[in-house]
Structure 1
């Protein structure tokens, strides 16, 4: 985000606690405090300051978003809030757009994500509403899907190109035709700057890529990006088998079962954002750049990805899958 704004010639100010990677961006202004006004110096560093626009990319609790939006309202023309596609109440309707109902909570004062992060989506929806209440008509609510690309600390997308590069038998979830939606962080950042330039407000689903993508297409793209030396082979394992084999959840990032409650999670309409200028680079470029960045990390970091299956867990699941009776609905290899 910072790089995209700087590339367009804007003066950027960062507000954070100053604890995580404080060495980044030594040439721009940094204000330190806390999003929570009840902690430390809170939002004091923002008081009395004016900016053309604010991009809030770390709002998770409505009370906290309300505090910053209300403080900034007199001195900011536009408030861009980064929400999530998880803010929607349902993920079962293919092509659902921004008019779809958002998730709700029985107790809107709850500020914890919940054991299974079940409150994440409803809290994001409430954060959107808090920002809009503070700055009516001046808020841009952006609902991204999976944000991917170089520098992604979650390793959710990175797991796949790194795993394909390692080669051998790869556990591929679901079916090759299961839909996938992702957006390269650089495409999202460039579009957010454009949204600020145009003073565009409203609600936008922000995910991609430019053409329909499937899980099979993603894995094939990873393999193609590696060139002729790639020897990965994909074994497709059904969503039903992967629910909780042995009573344990399976971490297969990015993918969501194309059935049941998540059947349309990766089928959101992005027409509104596209009309507002959102464009996408090729998935192969994202794969190559992500893998290039991954290889710059220390070996000990690469040895412990933060998402996906360990080699041992993957091998265990593949053995269990092959042991299934033929009537279990196996897919051809």
Structure 2
């Protein structure tokens, strides 16, 4: 089972992805191969971050829609293919260096990487009155109780138990990711409203997957299934799973900016109830090849302290509800989802374009020898 510690470890990996190199051509969403109509009104869009996981998808889609895009980050990963189509400002929110934002105005600001409230406070001090609409990427980890399905945007949020939220740093967060991540995100949301008022959009994704995902938490499954053989599947196959392709999230953020839609939205997918079995068989439909799936009960998984990403049992876990978060409000606001097969196909193509060393470094899931050992032990007692 994906334990509480593992869930926050994956969140930490996603946060740490901001320090990873750019991934080149994966920045362009697959949908750019189709004709994308221009927006009714071009916007001046400021993207804080912009070179991590979902940011490049936002940039590419915004450019295709005819918007003017500015990114602000530390300048460690400039994306060459943008060229002069994107203004790339340099600064560092960890040290409060936002000088390059001063004296400027934008129609929209999208805040991608923030996990600390003081980042929002400092941005607000520079941008207040200078942007018409502020969109903040949060997380479903803000909810106080993730144990039951049906979590909606009005569910209670995690409470901060530290001494001074504005004194928390990246270092203190990473040292206590389990205790701080959700509550600091919740406080960052509150700070966004304090700084930018009613023109704020809060987007709370769950598992973000697809090309550019450096955590491997979803990638483990299509990669493992493509290898074939006997595959350990946790539970009875009926536990619910929710994932959203990073391209669907990024492109929807731009559409929210275009419509000026404010409010709070759970960005979880798909738009139907997907089970663990549906996910693994959906991956297999793409990969093909000989593969068998062996379901192993939760009790055996827990006894052997196995960490399998994405999966959480539908009952009995502090995060059982993470597979059944309500996305009705987001869908009503225009969130749409590409087919799982497209996500898996493009993800595997991206992954296989990485270096052999990177492909050999599995950052989530279990190694093949460990899986074989567990399956042998399960068959021996079954």
TM over 0.5: yes
- Spell out, residue by residue over 1:248-278, the C-alpha distance to the aligned partner (whole angstroms, 9 max, x if none): x533111122222222111111111111111
What is the rounded CA distance, in whole Å, between the counterparts of 1:108 and 1:129 in structure 2? 17
Q: CA deviation at 1:121?
A: 0.9
- Spell out, residue by residue over 1:10-49, the C-alpha distance to the aligned partner (whole angstroms, 9 max, x if none): 11111111123654633311111111244xxx11111111
What is the rounded CA distance, in whole Å, between the counterparts of 1:26 and 1:308 in structure 2? 38
What is the rounded CA distance, in whole Å, between the counterparts of 1:21 and 1:214 in structure 2? 39
Query: Which of residues 213, 216, 219 in structure 1 aligns to 2:280?
Result: 219
Query: Which of residues 309, 313, 316 in structure 2 aligns to 1:257?
Result: 313
Q: In the alignment, is the contact (CA less than 8 A) between 1:84 and 1:121 conserved in 2?
A: yes
User: Which stretches in structure 1 are left out of the alignment for 5+ residues?
Assistant: 327-333
User: Which moved further from structure 2: 163-172 or 113-122?
Assistant: 113-122
Q: CA deviation at 1:75?
A: 0.3
Structure whose residues are more often helix by fraction: 2
What is the rounded CA distance, in whole Å, between the counterparts of 2:290 and 2:247 in structure 1? 30
Query: Which of residues 139, 153, 167 in structure 2 aligns to 1:98?
Result: 153
Indicate yes or no: 2:244 matched with 1:183: yes
What is the rounded CA distance, in whole Å, between the counterparts of 1:135 and 1:108 in structure 2? 25
| Counterparts in 2 of 1:197 and 1:299: CA distance versus 1, 3 Å | same
> Which SS does the other structure have where 1:265 is aligned?
helix
> Which SS does the other structure have where 2:266 is aligned?
strand
Q: Which residue of 2 aligns with 1:33?
A: 91
Q: CA deviation at 1:106?
A: 1.5
User: Which stretches in structure 2 are left out of the alignment for 5+ residues?
Assistant: 1-57
| Counterparts in 2 of 1:297 and 1:194: CA distance versus 1, 3 Å | same
TM alignment of 1:116-131, pairs within 5 A: 117-131=178-192
Indicate yes or no: 2:50 matched with 1:50: no
Q: Which residue of 2 aligns with 1:331?
A: none
What is the rounded CA distance, in whole Å, between the counterparts of 1:275 and 1:233 in structure 2? 38
RMSD: 1.7
TM alignment of 1:191-270, pairs within 5 A: 191-227=252-288, 230-243=289-302, 245=304, 249-260=305-316, 261-270=318-327
TM-score (norm 2): 0.79
Indicate yes or no: 2:317 matched with 1:272: no
Q: In the alignment, is the contact (CA less than 8 A) between 1:36 and 1:43 conserved in 2?
A: no
TM alignment of 1:5-154, pairs within 5 A: 5-20=62-77, 23=80, 25-27=82-84, 28-38=86-96, 42-107=97-162, 109-110=164-165, 111=168, 112-113=172-173, 114-115=175-176, 117-154=178-215
What is the rounded CA distance, in whole Å, between the counterparts of 2:80 and 2:216 in structure 1? 22
> Which SS does the other structure have where 2:88 is aligned?
strand
Total equivalences in the alignment: 317
What is the rounded CA distance, in whole Å, between the counterparts of 2:195 and 2:70 in structure 1? 21
What is the rounded CA distance, in whole Å, between the counterparts of 1:281 and 1:125 in structure 2? 29
| Counterparts in 2 of 1:194 and 1:75: CA distance versus 1, 3 Å | same
Q: In the alignment, is the contact (CA less than 8 A) between 1:210 and 1:281 conserved in 2?
A: no
